[in-house]
Amino acid sequence: MQSLDIEAINQQVYHDSAFVEQLNSETAKVIVGQKNMIERLMIGLLTKGHILLEGLPGLAKTLAIKTLSTAINAKFHRIQFTPDLLPADIIGTMVYNPGTTKFAVHKGPVFANFILADEINRAPAKVQSALLEAMQERQVTIGGETFKLEDPFLVLATQNPIEQEGTYPLPEAQTDRFMLKVKVGYPEKEEEREIMRRNLSDDGFGEINPIVQPADIIRARKSVQKIYMDEKIERYIIDIVFATRNPKEYGLANLAPLINYGGSPRASINLALAAKALAFLRRRGYVIPEDVRNICHDVMRHRIGLTYEAEAENKTQEDIINMVLNKVEVP
């Protein structure tokens, strides 16, 4: 009976994920390479998760989310975070209208499907908290009145890893609210040559057509929830997270002095959700261990705290996750 159910889920997922290939080919008109980043953006969309993106300037972070929003026929707003930004600049405020002698609600840029919070660590804590509250509650209150945010709603916050002067780093408790932390690297040689050619040619980049509607994304989310996850995969996810909390129990005693704190329960939840979304993007109705391993670094890297000893030994979160994945038994 179970095999019949899985087959039915598989067929439904295959049908509901038909737009994925179209979306990939449409974004490829503008974005050269960066398939990993586009895939992670899609995972965020399909799971109501938000993404923290870390990469050097000029790696098409803004272009990627803008292109994706156009292809999905969604509303896009970019907010440049600066030290003088106020919470009202993001969520909105009450504005006095001399004509009616009344105050009217002026909604801020957070009212969109895609929000690019550019260099979020340049804004003070009060502004960061205002955005993170909107992310969590998916609603904002202006002048005593509550307004629901758009659906789908995805926040992509960027951080520049090289310039730390004049920044307000996100506290660990706040970074934990981001589903994924994605690191963006340089393109390959051939990819960069293609980028250079497109920028120098008269034709430039192709025009993006809206081929998916926000309603299609909301429908796809229901399919993602139905994707089958075996108990063995569930135990595998729990073991990975618990190995970062109690490494000695998993034969990783050498990691104990390096880890200050391990993944929170959000790590387990988001690892399961992201693995399901990845299976959906692969057009499968069930999760395999490779899905978990593929997305593990993005889910866990901002949820593991390192000790001074780890920093002295030049150990990173990536090293910790690799050691855990190599040790925990794969089902």
Domain extents for the chain? 17-85+111-215, 227-327
Q: Does CATH place domain 227-327 in 1.10.8.80?
A: yes
Quickly tell me which residue has 């890893």 as its tokens. 161
- CB neighbour burial string for 134-151, b if at least 16 within 10 angstroms, e if fewer: bbeeeebebeeeeeebbe
Q: Between helices 317-327 and 231-245, what is the axis angle to 10°? A: 130
Instruction: Report pLDDT for 71.
Output: 86
Give one DSSP letter per residue of 293-304, joined into a string.
HHHHHHHHTTS-
Instruction: Please choose, from the candidates 36, 41, 102, the residue with its C-alpha nearest in 3D space to the C-alpha of residue 67.
Output: 41
CA dist list (Å): 149 to 53, 107, 155, 260: 22, 10, 12, 36
Cα distance between residue 308 and residue 87, in whole Å: 34
Query: Is 227-327 the same fold as 17-85+111-215?
Result: no
Q: Strand, helix or coil at 30?
A: coil
For residue 2, name the pLDDT band (cuts at 50, 70, 90): low
pLDDT at 216 over 50: yes
**205: Cβ contacts below 8 Å, ≥ 6 apart:** 29, 30, 198
Interstrand relation of 145-148 and 180-184 (parallel, antiparallel or unpaired) = unpaired
pLDDT at 56 over 80: no
Lowest mean pLDDT across 109-123, 168-182, 289-303, 314-328: 168-182
For residue 206, name the pLDDT band (cuts at 50, 70, 90): low
pLDDT at 81 over 70: yes
Q: What is the mean pLDDT of residues 254-273?
A: 90
89 token code pair:
């600049």
95 token code pair:
């504005």
pLDDT at 1 over 50: no
pLDDT at 106 over 70: yes
Cα distance between residue 62 and residue 288, in whole Å: 32
**188: Cβ contacts below 8 Å, ≥ 6 apart:** 33
Give one DSSP letter per residue of 159-199, joined into a string.
E-SS--TT--PPPHHHHTTSSEEEEE-PPPHHHHHHHHHHH
Lowest mean pLDDT across 55-69, 82-96, 115-129, 253-267: 55-69
pLDDT at 324 over 80: yes
pLDDT at 193 over 90: no
Give me the percent of the chain exceeding a pLDDT of 70: 95
Count CB neighbours of 254 within 10 A. 10
At residue 207, φ and ψ (nearest 5 deg) are -85, 130
Superfamily of chain region 17-85+111-215: P-loop containing nucleotide triphosphate hydrolases (3.40.50.300)
Would you say 302 and 176 are in contact if contact means Cβ atoms under 8 Å apart?
A: yes
Would you say 87 and 125 are in contact if contact means Cβ atoms under 8 Å apart?
A: no
pTM: 0.86
